[in-house]
Amino acid sequence: MKIHFLQKRLALLVLFCMVFSLLLVPAAGKAADVEVDVAALPTIADAAIVTDSSKPEVADANYDNRTNLGSSTQGLYSLSTSSSKKTEVYFKFDVSTVSDSTYRYYLQVSAKKGSSDIDTALQVYGLLNNSWQESTITWNTAPQTDLSAMNPLGQFIVNQANAGKPILYTVDVTDYVRQHLSDQAVSFIIASNSTNSVNVYSKENTSASNPEPQLSVRRVVQSDNTPPTWGQNAALKSINLGMDFVQLTWPAAMDDSAVSNYKLYQNDVLLSDVKGNTYTVQGLAPNTSVTYSVYAGDAVGNYSLTPLIYHVTTLSAPVAPLQVVEVNASSSDGNVESNTLDNNLFSRWSASGDGQYVMFDLGQAKNIGYVGIAFYKGDLRTTLIDIQTSNDAQTWTNVFTGNSRPNMVDMQAFDIPDTQARFVRVIGHGNSDGSTFTSLTEVMIYPPFPSGDTPVAIVPNITPTAPPGTVPFTKPGLTNPDGSEHALHTPNQVTGATRNVLDYGANPADNAQDDRIAIQNAIDAAAAGDEVFIPNGVYNLITSPDGFINLKLKSGVNLRGESESQTILKSSIDDVKNSSVLKSSSQHDILVSNLTVTSTWDRTFSLDHVMNNPAAGGPDSMIAVANYGEIPSYNVTIDHVTVERFRRMAIRIENSHDVVVRHATFRKATDLGGGGAGYGTSIQGMPKVDRLGFDNDTYWNVVEDSTFEGPYLRHGSLIQNVAHNNELRNNHYKNTKLDAIDLHGELEYLNEVYGNTVEDILTGGGVGLGNTGGTAPSNHSKTGPHNYIHDNVIRNAREGIVVTMGTPDTLIERNIIENTTTVNNGVGINILNGPGTRIVNNIIRNNTASGYWGILLEHDNGDQNAGNVGAGDPQNVQIIGNTITGNTYGIQLQKGTNISVTKNIVNNIGTNYLKASGVTATEIWPSTDNTLSSLTISAGALSPVFDAAQTNYTLSVPKVTNEILITPTAASGEAGITVNGASVDSGTASTAIQLNVGANVIDIVVTAENSTTKTYQLTVTRMLSDNANLSSLITSSGTLSPGFDANITAYTVEVPVGTSKITIKPTTSDSLAKVTVNGADVVSGTTSSVIHLKQGENRIELMITAENQTAKVYKLTVKRGNKGDKDKDK
């Protein structure tokens, strides 16, 4: 029993081992017939044809890349049939290279259910005529439209849901294709007999995840007993490993038919059946040794007799790259080189053209074993690169040349011979898709790894989002998110030592000495609070340690020249992309002042803004204030600096904040052509990425009180790349080649431009918003919203202010645009597809050049080199309260919807207002009423009686009226009134107007809302006094009878006989009246001469003559007593 039991156990063990061995090692295949892929042919032409009895015109329309011509979705044909409408889809394939009659052919159509979302059958027909062209075919020109007499080659049921992605449906068309191989091309018609809609996709579909139609070509393999083999030196190895994963790769095996798959084993246990040549093993333990083996199999089931074997140990801890202290690049498309160091695959460095490179500075020579590089679009293409090393950035050693691995966006390792070097650069030579961009998302440099493996980091792909608590900005200019004012920083103060560069060996003579080393040594030796002082002289900066930068600025250390015009830094850098003379890289609290920064470039200047100057050169930038990764520069001031002889940007402010440029002069760029040449200042962020809330956001930067001298400047000042809340103010721009101030069409928003004077811009504008050009995906487009352009003066410019490419919600206010006399067909304010633009209270005047329009709204064609992005008509534009006078023409609306034209004053040489057919606009024009409805005076009566049409009046007032109040009331509530030049509110009294004696002319001017005026004139005569009254009359003797009253002119006085004489003291009511007593003048209030009295009645006459010469006589009878009375005078 025991023996029998043991025999049974042994038999089971043998059986188990046999089964296990079958699992462990792939078995040889059987010689069955199989089909092997030869090719997947794309269509060489595809189109749809449509007929609709209710719309006969569609039969003449071409539907090359979509059936909905009003849609922006490319490559979608909606296929259905009804009693009135039919749609058919045409496909054509070139079969000249796969014309073996033993091949099999399968048509594969990309489709899914349409809006009806119902399973639907599609039929496939062969088309004998291959002469049709996708760009011209229509229903009426198609070689075949009636399918009723044709037999389909096959059909398929489209059952993929409308909400999902399209999938490929396959129809065997072998017999048909074999019959027409001699034609070298075959065509098919796809049609439906159903009213249900089906979405069929063409080669133009823009989604990478949507399959495209193809003709699958296969060959039949018969009686294959030969297993695949490995090539010489074939090896299984890792392309990356970590603490819990290994990423394996192996070369393609060889087979007489085709290799179809690979079986991968881990520690002799089958891990996976793999179709490709890479596999990532997950879930391993740290510091664990593992053995992998791989066998190659063919379609029949034959497997290689020997595997490739690889032994590896997972990491015990993450491997750290070498520290990079500086990164520079030959150029960029706006995706800058610091993006390669941000540990994020979302961002990238990109540059176009063969030989573009990015260079990394390790600070000192270090031992380098391999380089990790991640490629943008690495899943869609490969990139040919060189990797080079150097110790001086001058002499380079090539250590790698080859292509990146296909189908890989993660970082991949490039093993190089172990070397000591300070600098590493990666040079691009184009991509497998034919493009010339070199685009790297991340680069890390590693020391040699002990085992010889090349582990690299797993870099995340994180779409940037604002940090928690980020608050958006709401007002333009130097404001905080809550709308309060942001105060400018105080320029960095010197609290420490002054370090004279002469003490470090600099020589102020203009000679062959390299003064760069001495000046940099002074900067490096300085501590925060110190300043580096440069006396007058010419200091030659001949070398740069990395080939890009002459002098690196340092936080807290100022750089001060003795005088702006006589302290000269002269750089020898010549035509090195991304180079700069002075650079602040993630530095802060610096003042650079009193310098001229120039270069040794002395070739020929050019005014050509279309073609780059072939003789251009000098540094790319003279002063660069920039970030390093996430860390910005900030609190940097550049004051009284002259910048000249540069190629691209005199001062570049990038991914930084609180940088102020003031009292600077910009001139003499060496190139005015495209690609970012010839800019005075550029404030720029990250292309297409709003860094709001991040440390390296671009905001609160200012350029002020500076001068930009043409003609050798393409633009004066730029703001670009999602920069926001920056200011350009109180600068003077003259004779730049293109727009003096350019918001460059990269989504920049909430910036403020004011107080600037712009003159003589003959081939551009004063201020431009939005821009064509650049290269997708970093092409220019619209400027962002809510930029504020106000209180600028623009003279003699082709365009004063121009808004393009769909730039939204710009406020253009209180600018003066004037005196364009030499530039034909100019425009004061030009809106091309600027939705929501507000044009308010601007003055556009005296622009008399031929064809000049004060305000012009027109269609924008967009960027024709970037899919017409930005195309469209103006919408919701408000034109309010502008004064447009003395120009060739006024306002023209060529295109636009919902345009408001409100209360604008237009008085021009030619047409004041022109609205094209189809434009929808509401117009409210200013009132022309400049009349008064009433005029009242505080004294006197108007002559004639007031009438609005009567403009001249007279009024007389007595002498006692020495002032007058005038109350004018305008007929229009929009009119303004002045009285003798002083503003008066309608219906309210003026201030008191003092009256002189005689005629007083008072002008009352009524200004209508449209600025026309009417003058009402009032002549007020203040009369001379007619007061001939006495206020008192006193005699030296006796008493008046009756008592004195000014209105009583006859009096008697009785005196004794002894009173033989008398005096009279008359006082006039009006001091200007004259008095005579018995013909003798008497001064009012004084006593007359003695009048002798006779006995009896004595008549005395007082004549009072008023100022106006009217007279009044007072008569006084003095009765002297009888003779018997005693004479008192004796």
- CATH 2.60.120.260 in the chain is located at 326-446
**Cα–Cα distance measured from residue 909 to residue 887, given in angstroms and rounded to the nearest whole number:** 6
Close Cβ partners of 691 (under 8 Å, ≥ 6 residues apart) = 464, 655, 685, 697, 698, 722
pTM of the model: 0.71
For residue 26, the model assigns a pLDDT of 56
The gap from C-alpha 1092 to its chain's centroid, in whole angstroms, comes to 107
Close Cβ partners of 775 (under 8 Å, ≥ 6 residues apart) = 333, 352
Q: Which residues of 278-294 are buried (b: 16+ CB within 10 A; e: fewer)?
A: ebebeebeeeeebebbb
**Cα–Cα distance measured from residue 977 to residue 979, given in angstroms and rounded to the nearest whole number:** 7
**Cα–Cα distance measured from residue 648 to residue 680, given in angstroms and rounded to the nearest whole number:** 8
498-500 and 531-534 as β-strands: parallel, antiparallel, unpaired?
parallel
- CATH 2.160.20.10 in the chain is located at 557-907
Q: What angle do CA 725, 730, 736 make, to 5 degrees?
A: 95
**Cα–Cα distance measured from residue 895 to residue 872, given in angstroms and rounded to the nearest whole number:** 9
For residue 73, the model assigns a pLDDT of 72
Q: Which residue intervals of 526-582 are DSSP H helices?
A: none
Residues 1106 and 1025 sit within 8 Å (Cβ to Cβ): yes
Low-confidence stretches of the chain (pLDDT beneath 50): 1-25, 27-30, 1126-1130
CATH annotation of 932-1022: 2.60.40
Instruction: Give the homologous superfamily in CATH for domain 23-33+227-313.
Output: Immunoglobulins (2.60.40.10)
For residue 1107, the model assigns a pLDDT of 87
Nearest to 878 by CA among 974, 827, 810: 810
Nearest to 241 by CA among 292, 303, 176: 292
Fold of domain 557-907 = Pectate Lyase C-like (2.160.20)
pLDDT tens digits, 950-975: 999 999 999 889 999 999 999 999 99
Q: Which residue intervals of 94-231 are DSSP H helices?
A: 174-179
DSSP 339: G
For residue 6, the model assigns a pLDDT of 36
- The CATH architecture of the domain made up of 326-446 is Sandwich (2.60)
Length of the chain: 1130
CATH class of the domain comprising 1030-1120: mainly beta
For residue 775, the model assigns a pLDDT of 55
- CATH 2.60.40.10 in the chain is located at 23-33+227-313
The mean of the pLDDT values for the chain is 92
For residue 7, the model assigns a pLDDT of 39
For residue 71, the model assigns a pLDDT of 65
Nearest to 559 by CA among 577, 541, 575, 576: 541
Instruction: Retrieve residue 777's tokens.
Output: 């995906």
pLDDT tens digits, 1086-1107: 999 999 999 999 999 999 999 8
CATH number 2.60.120 is the correct assignment for the domain at 37-221: yes
For residue 537, the model assigns a pLDDT of 98
Q: Which residues of 943-966 are buried (b: 16+ CB within 10 A; e: fewer)?
A: eeeeeeeeeebebebebeeeebeb
* Percent above pLDDT 90 for the chain: 82
For residue 43, the model assigns a pLDDT of 95
